[in-house]
Amino acid sequence: MTRGYRILIVDDDADYVAAVGAYLEANGFTVVTAANGQEGLRMAARHRPALIIMDVMMGDRTEGLFAVNELRRLPGLERTPIIVASALYTTEPEFTVPPEAEWLAGATFLGKPVDLSVLLERINTLLDMG
Amino acid sequence: MTEQDVHDTIVVIDDDYAMRLSCEQILGKSGYGVRSYEDGARGLEGVAELKPSLVVVDLKMPGLSGIEVIPRIHEIDPGIVIVVITGYATIGTAVDAMKAGAYDFLPKPFSPDELRLIVRRGLERRRLVAESQQAEIERELMKRRFVTFVSHQLKTPLVAVHQFLEVLQRLGDNADASAKRREWTERCLVRTTEMRTLINNWLTLSQLGGGTLSRHRVDLDVRELLAHVVGEHAESAARQDIRLELTPGVPLPVHGDRTCLSVLFENLIANAVKYNRPGGSVRVEGTVDSGEVVVAVTDTGLGIPAGDLPYLFDEFYRVRRSGDETLTGTGLGLPISRRVALEMGGAIEVESTEGAGSTFRVRLPSCPAPSSKTEPIR
């Protein structure tokens, strides 16, 4: 079981956050949440999460993608694993952007709804690598 | 927007040394960056190098004339505003200059104030053009993303429901889980309702295009319909400290589809409450004016920027304001409202001042029969 790692979920859908958050807590993680990109940046700076789960469409714009880039500029968060989860992706687009990329560096993309087993496995893999 | 926008550079092209000097002084004092050139050829080089916001050019110069210079400036950048200077004797030429693409002309002699005014107006126009081009680009992008966007909108509530069910399936049977089960079941119902509304909106929209509504028309009194919709929003308005009032008035007889007209007024009134602020008000007023039923929904809310107004009734167009990220919407309400109004042989129009509020006005052909025949609301 996982060792109290802190995970930040940034998503404007409170129901999704409640469901996924409860699942992660049941699996031993500490969960902090934010409802938009700006708040996500503040929470990330304050709580130093071990991993971030980021939505893309917040409000009516692709705010999450910009938030990822902003996060990469915050000291200490340059390498934090980020999972970008969005219903924008119709197939299983699971791919990871190379860490040296200028845009969305190191982000792993997942489609929504996320398969909880896949999510958990991915989180553990990313945390073990770091 | 400040009068002295430090980013604006102005180029002056005039063979008259005294004129160049006074333009430089007048505009320089207003905070613009000014460069002047003594003939058309050098002026064009300067324009290419500096990319100014505005060019003041004398029409009558030796060498390249002002008329010849205008199109060549616009070859460099069509967005540059051109003001021509001309003597009284050449007003006819000034008109030619306007046809060639000049924004305005300034007859000699002119006062410093006249020069400053015309420059300020020219720069203002340039900003407006740039803003509307930006809006056009966003609209085009939105169209391209249309399908992606629609499916995302439809999937969002589905994702929440799916995620709830999946977690519930995996949680054990302890007390905490059963509390969650109750709470989340409630949420699942809310979200499936949301999804149904969204799909219904879609269907209404496509039906409206097909003209199938004419079959469902009855004689009805819009006043009763408004009372019903206003009543439904009374609670949420009160919660947000917004005064929602229906001005009692005359019967408003129309021949139309009840459901669709409800959707129309529902959208307008819901928006007026939603894009408002505590202490604000929403006034709903119906009148009959030369054979037309006119319903005005006036709010003292956030208002709509002028650049957004032309696109307000486009599908999925949403006004972007900083600080209102919590206000979600489908971007379908107003397009549906407009189609309903058109389908009923009417129209919808909007007046708005950003920061002060908006008035949406719906005009519908009034039906000749008096209200005695109208059906009561459910």
ipTM of predicted assembly, 2 dp: 0.88
- Rounded-to-10 torsion of CA B143, B144, B147, B148: -120
Structure tokens at B261: 């007209």
d(CA B209, CA B198): 17
Q: What is the model's pLDDT at position A92?
A: 56
Question: Is B57:B82 a contact under the CB 8 Å cutoff?
Answer: yes
> Which pLDDT does position A99 carry in this prediction?
79
Domain assignment of residue A39, given as a range? 6-126
Indicate which of A9, A10, A15 best probes the interface with B, i.e. most B CBs within 10 Å of its own CB: A15
Q: What is the pairing mode between strands B281-289 and B292-299? A: antiparallel
Partner-chain contact B191 A116, CB within 8 Å = no
The separation between CA A8 and the C-alpha centre of its own chain, rounded to angstroms, equals: 7
Q: Which residues of A touch B159 (CB under 8 A)?
A: 13, 16, 87, 112-113
Confidence (pLDDT) at B326: 44
Q: Is residue A1 part of a domain?
A: no
Task: Give pLDDT, residue B325.
Answer: 42
In sequence order, what are the residues at sequence separation of 6 or more whose Cβ sits closer than 8 angstroms to the Cβ of residue B144?
none
Q: Give pLDDT, residue B329.
A: 60
CA distance B367 to chain A (A): 40
Q: What is the pLDDT of residue B374?
A: 47
Give the C-alpha separation, B295 to B304, whole Å: 20
Do B166 and A19 make contact, defined as CB atoms within 8 angstroms? yes
B167 touches A at CB < 8 Å? yes
Q: How far apart are CA B326 and CA B194, in angstroms?
A: 17
A101 touches chain B (CB under 8 A): no
**Number of domains making up chain A:** 1
Residue among A26, A58, A59 minimizing CB distance to B171: A26
Q: Exposure string (b/e) for B282-312, b if CB count within 10 Å is 16 or more?
A: bbbbbeeeeebbbbbbbbbbbbbbebbbebb
**How many CB atoms sit inside 10 A of residue B3's CB?**
9
Residues facing B221 on adjacent strands: B253
pLDDT at B143 (0 to 100): 60
Using H for helix, E for strand and C for coil, what is the string for B245-292?
EEECCCCCEEEECHHHHHHHHHHHHHHHHHCCCCCCEEEEEEEEECCE
Cβ neighbourhood burial of A102 (10 Å; 0-12, 13-18, 19+): exposed
Cβ-defined contact of A90 to B151 (cutoff 8 Å): yes
Instruction: Name the residue of chain A whose CA is nearest to B187's CA.
Output: A15
Q: Note the Cα B320 to chain centre separation in Å.
A: 10
Whether cis (ω within 30° of 0) applies to the bond prior to B109 is yes
Centroid of chain to Cα B328? 17
Distance CA A41, CA A38 (A): 5
Nearest CB to A22: which of B180, B318, B331? B180
Nearest to A71 by CA among A39, A100, A97: A39
Q: Provide CB contacts within 8 A for B160, sequence distance 6+.
A: A13, A15, A16, A19, B187, B188, B191
Q: Label residue B18 exposed, middle or buried (CB < 10 Å: 0-12, 13-18, 19+).
A: exposed
Q: How far is CA B301 from the centre of its chain?
A: 15
Residue A62 lies in a domain: yes
Is A90 within a domain? yes
pLDDT along chain B (378 residues), means of 10: 62 92 92 93 94 93 89 92 80 78 84 90 86 74 63 86 93 82 90 77 65 70 93 88 90 88 88 91 94 95 88 75 54 82 90 93 83 48
Q: Is residue A21 part of a domain?
A: yes
**pLDDT higher at B293 or A103:** B293
**pTM for this one?**
0.51
What is the Cα–Cα distance from B362 to B127, expressed in whole angstroms?
32
pLDDT value at residue B369: 52
| Dist. CA B292–CA B357, nearest whole Å | 25
pLDDT score for B148: 66
Q: Taking 90 as the threshold, does the pLDDT of residue A53 lie above it?
A: yes
A78 versus B190: the higher-pLDDT residue is A78
In B91-112, which positions are buried (b, 16+ CB within 10 angstroms) versus exposed (e)? Answer: eebbeebeebebbbbbeeebee
Q: How many helices (H) and strands (E) does chain B have?
A: 10, 12
The CATH number that applies at residue A78 is 3.40.50.2300
List CB contacts (< 8 A) between A16 and chain B. Answer: 159-160, 163
User: Which of A13, A15, A59 has the CB atom closest to B325's CB atom?
Assistant: A59
Q: Tell me what the mean pLDDT of segment A45-56 comes to.
A: 95
Q: Is A30's pLDDT higher than 90?
A: yes
